[in-house]
Amino acid sequence: MKTTILSAACLVPFSAATDVLLPLYVYPLSGAWDAVYNAASAYPDVTFNVIVNPDSGPGAGQYPDSTTIPAINKLNSYPNVQTLGYVHTSYASQSVSKVESNVSVYAGWASYSESNIAVKGIFFDEAPNNDDPTSTDYMSNAASYARGLGLDCIIFNPGALTTATAYYDAADLIVNEEIAYSSYSKSSTVDVIPSQYRNQSAIILHDTPSGADISSLVSTIVGAGIAAFYATEDCCYNSITTSLLDSISSSLENA
């Protein structure tokens, strides 16, 4: 069974346990997030890193809308859930001012007095995976800016393997593989991640078929020491399959 501890910055897996990294890009209409709430409740020994994304970022307002606020507040009520705000960098081509503005809005959610909608960190999507100094400086500075605002859990998502040391120094977690389930194999997806980076690496699979052997897949991921994992049946994180999330969560708890 997995045990998690709460550090000053992040929910950190104890030893080599593997967390869920869930891009929650579904608008929270009635019942839409129930699968996540239910999984968090049913599997208290699994850490759920949940990425909230109101509008390809925090949205135009100071706070989320009146439907999203109670939904995030409920996520934050679970001690094993950590919410993170979505910010895309367009592979380091997004203006620094825009990235910092989006990060600042998320940081400001902590000041909302009527509900707990604070996020613990930032998920920087569309991160470059090269070791060009322009790219590594851009991402390192973005991470430092977020940490300076108290958002201390930093995830980069290049979606492909990176071995640039600067990224691992700047981020707590890096999505080193974001691929279709049909492209997954242990040799080409897990084994290619250098062992020294696996405890900071996540793997996300999309277009996962309903008959996939999730228990075996999770066993491989956990056995390799990968820090976080998620699989979805759709292409773009716009829906949640309750049975699949349950299978992932159960397999992780019993790994």
Closest Cα to residue 158, out of 188, 137, 136, 180?
A: 136
Which of the four CATH numbers 3.90.45.10, 1.10.510.10, 3.40.50.720, 3.20.20.60 does domain 4-253 have?
3.20.20.60
- Tell me the HSE value of 84 on the side-chain side, using a 13 A CA sphere: 30
pLDDT digits (tens, 9 = 90+) for 2-34: 333 333 346 544 334 899 999 999 999 999 999
CA distance 240 to 244: 8
Average pLDDT over residues 177-200: 97
pLDDT digits (tens, 9 = 90+) for 121-173: 999 999 999 999 999 999 999 999 999 999 999 999 999 999 999 999 999 99
What pLDDT shows up at residue 10?
A: 61
What pLDDT shows up at residue 226?
A: 97
In the predicted structure, residue 181 carries a pLDDT above the cut 70: yes
Q: Which residues of 163-176 are buried (b: 16+ CB within 10 A; e: fewer)?
A: ebeebbebbbbbbb
CA distance 237 to 232: 7
What pLDDT shows up at residue 255?
A: 86
Confidence of residue 203 (pLDDT cuts 50, 70, 90): very high
pLDDT digits (tens, 9 = 90+) for 33-92: 999 999 999 999 999 999 999 999 999 999 999 999 999 999 999 999 999 999 999 999
pLDDT digits (tens, 9 = 90+) for 225-244: 999 999 999 999 999 999 99
Q: CB pairs under 8 A, 24+ apart, for 93-98?
A: 96/138, 96/141, 96/142
In the chain, the DSSP E strands lie at: 4-6, 11-13, 19-24, 48-52, 81-88, 121-125, 153-157, 173-180, 201-206, 228-231
What pLDDT shows up at residue 159?
A: 97
Which pair of tokens denotes residue 115? 């509900």
- The larger pLDDT score, comparing residue 213 to residue 2, is at 213
